[in-house]
A and B are shown apart, each in its own frame.
Chain A
Amino acid sequence: MSILLDADARILIVGITGKFGTFSVKDLAQSQTQVVAGVAPGRSGQTIAGVPVFSSVAAAMTETHANAALIYVPAVVALDAVLETVEAGCPLIAYPGDGLPVLDAMEMRAAALAHGAYLIGPNSPGLISPGKAKLGFMPSFCYRPGPIGVISRSGSLSYEACFRLSQAGLGQTSVIGIGGDPVRGVNAAEAIALFHDDPETRAIIYLGEIGGSEEYALAEYAGRPDAKPSAALLVGRTAPAGKKMGHAAAMIGSHAESWSAKVTALDRAGVVIARDLDGLASAAATALARAMKPAA
C-alpha cells in the first residue's frame, strides 16, 4: 500500500504541450508511471510522446479513464484548470506551480473538498509512491520502496532528505509534498491521517520549516495513544524573524511560528527530533525501531 497513488495510476497532464508538460511525459515514462492523456485547449487530436491530447479534461477522462491529474499551467490560469479538473470528476490532482494568489489556493482547496477530491499543492513537487507511480517532477533516483511515510513542506529538502533515507536503507511508502505556500490542498493533518490509515506505513517523517502552524498538527497527532511513531526535521533554526525565507509561508511572524516553539511542542509530544539534516536518518531509524518494537 501507499497513500493516494498506486501502481494502477492512470495520469493525465493538463498543459502537456508546454515545456514542463513535455519533460514530464518522458520523465514519468521512466518512472513506471502510466500517462494516458494530455489536455491542451485547441490541440485535440495531436500526440505528445505517444500520449493523445484532448481539448478538455472531461473529454480526456471519458476517453482514457484517467484517475489522477498533474497540472502544469501558469498561476494566472491555475484556478480555472484545477476547477475544470475537479468538476470533471478527477479524484487526485497535483498542482505544483508556485506564485499562486492565496485567494485562488483557498478556492482550489474548497472545490477539492466539496468534490471529495485530493489536491496536492500549490508550490510542491507532487506525490510519489516509490516503485509504483509518481505524480510530480521529483527526481526518482532519490527514492526507494519501504515502510516510511514522508511529508514535506519543501521540494528541495525532500529530495535530499529522501536520498539520504534511501541510502541508509530507509525506504518510503509515499512521499507527499504539501507545499511551501500558506494555503494548500492536502495539509499536514490530512497527510498524517492518510499515513495513519495506510497499513504499510510504519513511521511518519515530517520535513517542516519555520513560519505557519502546520507542524502543530503533528504534535497533536503524536500525542494520541494510537499514533504511529514519528520523527521531524524542521529547517530555519538560524533564520531571523520577520524575513521571508524563499517560501511564501516561511516567515516567523510570531513566537509560535519560530523553530524553537515548534520543536519544543514536537519534542514534548514524543516526536523524534533531528536537529540537522545530518541527524535525519538516525532519527528516522529511531522512530522506525519504535514501530517494530512496541513499548510494553
Chain B
Amino acid sequence: MLVTEAHGKVLLRAAAVATPSSQELRSLDEVRACRIDLPVAVKAQVAAGGRGKAGGIRKASSAAELEEAFGAIMAMRFAGEAPASVLVETWLEIERELYLAVAIDSRVGGFNVLYSPRGGVNIEDGPPPLSYPVGLARNFRAHVFRGLLEPVEPDARVRERVISVARRLLDIALANECTTVEINPLVVAKSGALVAADAKIVLDEAAAFRRAETAAAIATTREKADRGIRLCEEANLMLVWLDGEIGLISGGAGMTMAAMDAIDSAGAQPACFLDVSGNPTPAGFGLAFDLLDRAPKVKGILVSMFGGGLHTDRVAKTLVELLGKRTSVKPVTLRLNGTRSDLATTILRDGGHQNHATLEAAVADIVKRVAEVRR
C-alpha cells in the first residue's frame, strides 16, 4: 500500500537520506504555531498519485498565504480522498531535478534500480529511465551501477551521491518490506547535496504479519475506506467499485476481469469487481447481494462462477435460498459452469431460476434486462 509523503519521509530520514526541514500540520492552530522558515511548500498528504498536477502543492511566502493554502488544500479531494494533513517544507533552491527509485520488477525477479538525470512531474513523458536490475538487494554493486550511470550522468559528483542514495533506498526497502521506494524529484541543491523533495513508498501488505508498521497502516486505511470495501475485506471478498451499472459477482481475479471485459464487449459497463472465491458461502454471497442491492448505481446483478475446486451445486443451493428471501427487484442473471454444473442447473430450475450455459449468454441477458429496466 502507498503511504503518505510525510510517512515516507520519516522512513527516508531514518536511513539518513536528506529531506527538507518539514512539519506535518493537521489544524489551523498548528499552522499558526509553525516555525519553518518562509517561503515554504505546502503539500496535501494523500496516498494517491497525481497530487501536484491536481493543485495539491502550493508555495506560501507569508503567514497569511500559509493559512490560506492550508485551508484550500484541506478542502480538496484527490481521487476521492480527503487529505489527512498538509506537509509544510522549506522551499528548495533547485539546481537540477533527478529521478531515483528502487522497485520490484517481475521480469527482474526482484529489485530494479531506476535513474533519470531529468526527474520531475513529467518523468513519464521523457525517455525511459536507466534501469539496473539488481534482484536481491544484497546483489547491489556500486561499481556496476557506476558503469551504467557514466554514459547517462556526466557529473561525477552527482553520480557518486546517487549511488550512495540508491544503496540507502534498498536498505529502506529491505528493512520496511517495501515494493517501491521512489524519489521524484531528487533535488540537486545549490550546495551540491541531494535532497529528497518527495517520497513515494509502497509497503508490501503481505508482510503485515511481521511488520507492525505495515499492519497499522492497513488498519488506518481500512477505517477510512468505503463501508462495502471494509466489510468485504473482513469477509475475505475482494471488492473494487467501478463506474458502470452491472453488479458483477464472480470467482477468481482473472475470471472476474474477464467478465468485466465481456460486459464491456456487450455494450455495458461493470459497476464493480467483486470476487467471492475467497468465501463462496451463504455469508459471502449474502454480503455480496446486500451490498449490490443497496448500491443505487447497480441496476442489475450478474453472478458468474466457474467451478474448478468449487462445487457449483452448493453455490446453486445458496443462491436459491438467498434469492428466495431477497426483497430487491433488481434483475439477477445466473451462470454456473464447471464442477457439478448439471446438478446446479437442476437446483436452479427447481428454484425457478435459469442457469445460463456460457458467460457470454449470461452477459447478454443481464445487459438486455438492465436496458429494459431503464426504459
Contacts and interface: CB of A to CB of B under 8 A. Distances in A.
Partners in one complex: yes
Interface of A: 75-76, 99-103, 106-107, 109-110, 125, 137-139, 141-142, 152-160, 163, 180, 182-184, 187-189, 207, 209-210, 212-214, 216-217, 233, 235-240, 242-250, 254-255, 275-278
Contact of A248 (B136, B206, B273, B275): B206
Given A109-B109, A156-B252, A158-B254, 14 more contacts: A101-B204, A139-B308, A157-B258, A160-B337, A163-B338, A184-B109, A188-B107, A209-B253, A209-B257, A212-B106, A242-B48, A246-B275, A254-B124, A278-B360
Of the four ranges (under 10, 10 to 19, 20 to 34, 35 or more), the interface on chain B belongs to: 35 or more
B109 A207 contact: no
Contact of A141 (B179, B238, B339): B339
A128 B1 CA distance: 34
B261 A101 contact: no
Contact of B109 (A153, A157, A187, A250): A187
Nearest to B257: A235
Nearest to A242: B49
B254 A239 contact: no
B175 to A, nearest CB: 10
A160 B288 CA distance: 22
26 contacts: A76-B209, A101-B206, A103-B174, A103-B207, A141-B339, A154-B255, A156-B254, A156-B256, A157-B255, A160-B255, A163-B306, A182-B105, A184-B109, A209-B257, A235-B254, A235-B257, A235-B261, A238-B260, A238-B264, A238-B270, A240-B240, A240-B242, A245-B257, A246-B275, A277-B261, A278-B360
Interface of B: 48-49, 79, 104-107, 109-111, 124, 135-136, 174, 177, 179, 204-207, 209-210, 238, 240, 242, 251-258, 260-265, 269-270, 273, 275, 277, 306-309, 337-339, 359-360
Nearest to B250: A156
B262 A278 contact: yes
Contacts of B204: 101-103
Given A107-B136, A163-B338, A239 B273 contact: yes
What 5 pairs across the A-B complex have the smallest Cβ distances? A156-B252, A154-B254, A246-B253, A157-B254, A235-B257
Contacts of B207: 101-103
* A212, A216, A245, A247: residue with the most chain B Cβ atoms closer than 10 Å: A245
A254 B111 CA distance: 17
Contact of A235 (B109, B174, B240, B258): B258
Contacts of B339: 139, 141
Given A106-B136, A239-B273, A182 B179 contact: yes
Contacts of B107: 187-189, 213-214, 216-217
Contacts of A156: 251-256, 277, 306, 308
A216 B263 CA distance: 27
A33 B124 CA distance: 50
A246 B238 contact: yes
Contacts of A247: 253-254
B136 A213 contact: no
A262 to B, nearest CB: 13
A180 B277 CA distance: 15
Contacts of A249: 106
